[in-house]
Structure 1
Amino acid sequence: MTREDALTAAHAEVKAEITRTDSKTALLLAFVGAVLAGAWTVAKDAPLNAAAVVVGGLGMGLLVAAAGLLLRSVRPNLAGRHGFPLWATLTAEEITATATGRDLAADVAGLSRLAVAKYRGLRRAVDLTCVGGALLVLAALLTLGGAA
């Protein structure tokens, strides 16, 4: 495998990882939204005690924070130095010059940093979702225990 082939493969791998991370983020965002909507629907009509309100409120807050992290992870970077935003700012001659003088290794490095940042945000959002969900379950148990 030549150096150019290796760089092209690495470039494709990193772009595929960004796509996978964005897909996971979209699924988790839909899940968090559904949990928030479901929890709100159930809680608004339930006879909640003070402990359930506090614990459930913390859980909802963590889920909202997770949704914020997920949205930030997929937020487009229009000030980026590569990809569509770059091409949209160049003339036809500049595009040709940039494409022929393109440093694929630098592009792989930049995309890798982007992938790691997205992955880190997704991981934090998963952690917040787990803790927020656990708090909502605890709030439900407190409500059921208080109602008995």
Structure 2
Amino acid sequence: MSAPDTRTLLAAAHAEVKAEITRTDTKTALLLAFVGAVLAGAWTVARDLPMNRPAYVVGGLGMALLVAAAGLLLRSARPNVKGRHGFPLWATLTPEQINDAVSRDLAADIAGLSRLAVAKFTCLRRAVDVTCAGGALLILAALLAVGGAR
């Protein structure tokens, strides 16, 4: 069995980067739905609890963090149509230029798409951290409300 040539390795790396971007977008969509459900559920539960001042403050901070997490998730999902790699670049080229660019610049496309994937993962990671903090504050607010802290 012969060793794969450079073109085959580049094609595999390109496919891997595109798969990672797809994974990130899928995770972002699921987490955005989760955050929306938590926000709706917290709002519904808060209306039925006897809230006190500490519970309002902590719960408000928790809700604000969840809204911030939703913003981070939306930023991660926002399409980058001004990119210099993939379809945004190809939309500006003729078919002949696309052939030349793909055959010549696959490594550059991999690098650009990898930077995009890292940016998406970073934003997703921050959103998960903020979601956890917001959820913890909502749990604390519920405990404060039920415990009757004054």
TM over 0.5: yes
Secondary structure of the residue aligned to 1:126 is helix
Give, in angstroms, the shift of residue 82 of structure 1: 1.9
Q: Could you tell me which residue of structure 2 aligns to residue 145 of structure 1? A: 147
User: Structure 2 residue aligned with 1:80, among 83, 93, 113?
Assistant: 83
Q: Kindly state the Cα deviation for residue 86 of structure 1 after the two structures are TM-superposed.
A: 2.1
Corresponding residue number in structure 2 for 1:132: 134
Alpha-carbon RMSD across the aligned residues, in angstroms, is 1.5
Stretch moving more, 74-83 or 137-146 = 74-83
Give the conservation status (yes or no) of the 8 Å contact 2:86–2:109.
no
Question: In the aligned structure 2, how far is the partner of 1:93 from the partner of 1:13?
Answer: 26
Q: 1:10 aligns with which of 9, 13, 19?
A: 13
For structure 2, the 5+ residue unaligned runs are none
Question: Secondary structure of 1:135's match?
Answer: helix
TM-score (norm 1): 0.92
Question: How many percent identity over aligned positions?
Answer: 76
Match of 2:55 in 1: 52
Query: In 1, Cα distance between the equivalents of 2:106 and 2:46?
Result: 53
In the other structure, the counterpart of 1:28 is 31
Give the secondary structure class of the aligned counterpart of 1:81. Answer: coil
Report the number of matched residues.
146
State the shift of 1:93 in Å.
Answer: 4.4
For residues 109 and 96 of structure 1, the distance between their equivalents in structure 2, rounded to whole angstroms, comes to: 18
Separation in 2, partners of 1:116, 1:90: 26
Structure 1 residue runs of 5 or longer lacking an equivalent are none
- Alignment of 1:19 with 2:27, yes or no, is no
- Aligned residue number for residue 114 of structure 1: 116
Give the TM-score, by structure 2 length.
0.90
